[in-house]
Amino acid sequence: MCAVNPIMYQYQADKLPQIQQDYEEVKGRVDKENKLPSVFDVIPTFRRIEKVPDKIENSDFVPASGLVALAVLNAPEDWRDMKSAYSQIKSGLTDKPFIPSYNYKIAQHPFSFFRGTLLHKFVNPKTSPCPKLAKWLFKNDTTLWNTKLRDYVAKKFNIKESWIKTSIKNITYTDAHPSYIDAKSFITKSTFGELTARAMTRTTKIGTIVLGGLEAAHLVKEISDGENAIKSTAKSAINLFSSIAGIGYGGAIGAKHLGPVGSLVGMGLGAIAGNQVSKLLD
């Protein structure tokens, strides 16, 4: 932050602390007003690195590096998602039909932290240079719907599950031994319950842990810089939860009604909503 030039107030030296305080308060309000939600949040790669400049400006280098690494890691899969959305839009403007991977209106396929990314082959035990590690990563590359939280949600909303086939290739897919992902259909009378199940199926367990780790690194820095520990912890928890929930629910709603295009737009809008919620404690 730029400081007030003392020379400008050489005859009001006794007022410098108050002048500086007023200046910082005004500048803070202007900065907040300028940080408007970005329409580019519908682009996955941009959404991942959107906060990087602010973190670098605040010398928050560990989270910044982690977000860049996630963007690079997911670049191939993000590009495929964009191409799929483009194909859907193009089909609506031409006579060429759009054939989805499965019926997204009635089901949701489980997301993966590694599938389609730069680490896709590394996590495949058949192609990985570290088969044992790959097998462990592949086994644990599950979603929040595969955690104990699932039991509570399923009981709370009386959710029953069924499976449908998709044309989405699994990490272990080979031409000799084809393997595809099954999508889950959630049967319940509760619309919110179904969306919650869909959102959890779209949120990976490893991804949540990684984002939690990056937020923890940010929290440590804030506390070491003299910030109030309780307030900083609350802010970090709200930031993490609102971001994950916003993207999860937004993507679930969009995908159910508009497929690939809806998924991207929904995640973008969910990210914007999550960011706005996280700013409530600023």
4 located within any domain: no
CB 155 within 8 A of CB 197: no
Kind of pairing between the strands at 180-187 and 160-169: antiparallel
- How many structural domains comprise the chain? 2
Question: Per residue in 104-116, pLDDT tens?
Answer: 999 999 999 999 9
Residues 211, 88, single domain; the answer is yes
Do 193 and 231 belong together in one domain?
no
| Tokens standing for residue 217 | 């690194």
- Residue 166 falls inside a structural domain: yes
Domain boundary among 183, 201, 219: 201
Whether residues 64 and 117 share a domain: the answer is no
Neighbours of 130 (CB within 10 A): 12
Identify the domain containing residue 167 by its residue range.
107-201
- The structure's pTM equals 0.83
Domain boundary among 201, 231, 262: 201
Task: Indicate whether 163 and 210 sit together in one domain.
Answer: no
pLDDT digits (tens, 9 = 90+) for 183-241: 999 999 999 999 999 999 999 999 999 999 999 999 999 999 999 999 899 899 999 99
Same domain assignment for residues 117 and 180 = yes
In terms of Cα–Cα distance, which of 258, 146, 266, 263 is closest to 200? 146
> Is residue 15 included in any domain, yes or no?
no
The end-to-end CA distance of the chain, in Å, is 17
Domain boundary among 201, 217, 245: 201
Picking from 204, 110, 196, 198, the residue whose alpha carbon sits closest to that of residue 153 is 196
Same domain, 125 and 150: yes
Asked, for residue 12, whether it belongs to a domain, the answer is: no
Whether residue 226 is contained in a domain is answered as yes
**Taking 90 as the threshold, does the pLDDT of residue 162 lie above it?**
yes
Token pair 């809008």 is found at 269
- Say if residue 251 is in the same domain as residue 281: yes
- For the chain, what percent of residues have pLDDT higher than 70? 85
